[in-house]
Amino acid sequence: MRIGVPLNALRAFEAAARHGSVKAAAEELGVTPSAVSHQLRVLEEALGVDLLRRSGAGLEATAAGRALAPDLTAGFGRIAAGIARLTEARTAGPLRLSMLPTFAVHWLSPRLSTYPFETAGSALLISATQEAVDLAAGDADVAIRHGGGQGDQQWPGLEAELLFAETVTLLAAPGFGAGADLRAAVAGANLFLSQHRRADFDAWNESLPGGPLRPAAVTTVDSAGLGLRAAIDGAGVTLAGMEIAAADIAAGRLAALFPHRLDTGGAYWLVCPPGLARDRRVRRLRAWLAAQVGR
């Protein structure tokens, strides 16, 4: 819907008519009295009528002003109420946290027992998805994302805080190749490789001391999480981040086959809109994550 006159001019008139004062309107709007007076002139010229006149030390609405003011007050009131409802929903409800499924299953879930859910205002709504949800549009409040370099450059308009950098290596279930040469065992194994890890595996393999490995088969999967699950189930080997697999290794579900690790330049980041960075729920989550990664 096209209004046809500047919105700021309507706001200035509504506040001035309600207060009967340019000065009081300026204080409410956070501008100077001269700015309010300018907007009033702009509006009166655009509409071709006088809306306010001097009355003693204050202002009095004309007939045209009295006809217009109630609709503006009601309209701006509805706008304020809508914003308040949205703000309350984003700040009072569960913190909506989005992340990759691999991170959710292999890193977050094993640590959730230490999260302070019993503290008021600590409720979480966790969403695991391969898609980078639009935080600016309110599809989630915060997200944990995988990327490299500077977080604020990768996700413009969002605040990004580094959680941990990533190093990758070859993993399998404990006992893989028991009693046999590991290289020979890998040569007869199926490598479950995320479609996003092809370049990482090539770099890791080419830099492996003793020369590269040649797995018997390579099965491409859509996520590192599926590769980890296949390795845990004894179906073969996979290349994944040691940091993501740390809980599975500690629990005896996975083991690193070689001491060789590769720094991929990738990392995991906590990202959120600047307006939510100081929300107490986000600060609590940030403090808990920092404790989990040893900072």
Domain boundaries, the chain: 7-92, 93-295
Rounded-to-10 torsion of CA 235, 238, 241, 243 = 30
What is Dmax (Cα atoms) for the chain? Answer: 100
CA distance linking residue 269 with residue 143, whole number of Å: 8
Q: Which residue in this structure is represented by tokens 């501008």?
A: 31
CATH of 7-92, one of 3.90.550.10, 2.70.240.10, 1.10.10.10, 3.40.50.11540: 1.10.10.10
Q: Where are the beta strands (DSSP E) in the chain?
A: 52-55, 58-61, 95-99, 124-128, 142-148, 159-172, 190-194, 217-221, 237-241, 255-256, 262-272
Average pLDDT value for residue range 22-41: 92
Whether 87 shows a pLDDT value over 80: the answer reads no
The token pair that represents 94 in the structure block = 């569960």
Q: Quickly state the pLDDT bin for 84 (edges 50, 70, 90).
A: low
Cross-strand bridge partners of residue 163: none
Q: Contact, 236 vs 219, CB < 8 A?
A: yes
At 55-72, the pLDDT tens digits run 877 888 899 989 999 998
Matching fold, domains 7-92 and 93-295: no
Check residue 5 and give its pLDDT: 84
At 217-252, the pLDDT tens digits run 999 999 999 999 999 999 999 999 999 999 999 999
Give the best-scoring range by mean pLDDT among 150-159, 216-225, 275-284. 216-225
Check residue 228 and give its pLDDT: 97
CA distance linking residue 223 with residue 52, whole number of Å: 65
In this structure, the chain runs to a length of 295
The token pair that represents 252 in the structure block = 């005896």
Phi, psi of 208 (to 5 degrees): -70, 125
Check residue 216 and give its pLDDT: 96
CA distances from 260 to 44, 208, 242 (A): 75, 6, 11
Under DSSP, the state recorded for 294 is T
Check residue 121 and give its pLDDT: 78
Whether 139 shows a pLDDT value over 70: the answer reads yes
Share of the chain above pLDDT 70, in %: 94
Check residue 19 and give its pLDDT: 92
CA distance linking residue 215 with residue 54, whole number of Å: 88
Under DSSP, the state recorded for 197 is -
Q: Quickly state the pLDDT bin for 291 (edges 50, 70, 90).
A: very high
Span 93-295: which CATH code? 3.40.190.290
b/e per residue, 283-294, with b = 16+ CB within 10 A?
ebbbeebeeeee
At 170-213, the pLDDT tens digits run 999 999 987 778 999 999 999 999 999 999 999 999 999 999 99
Of the two residues 6 and 239, the one the predictor is more confident about is 239
Whether 3 shows a pLDDT value over 80: the answer reads no
Output the pTM of the full model: 0.70
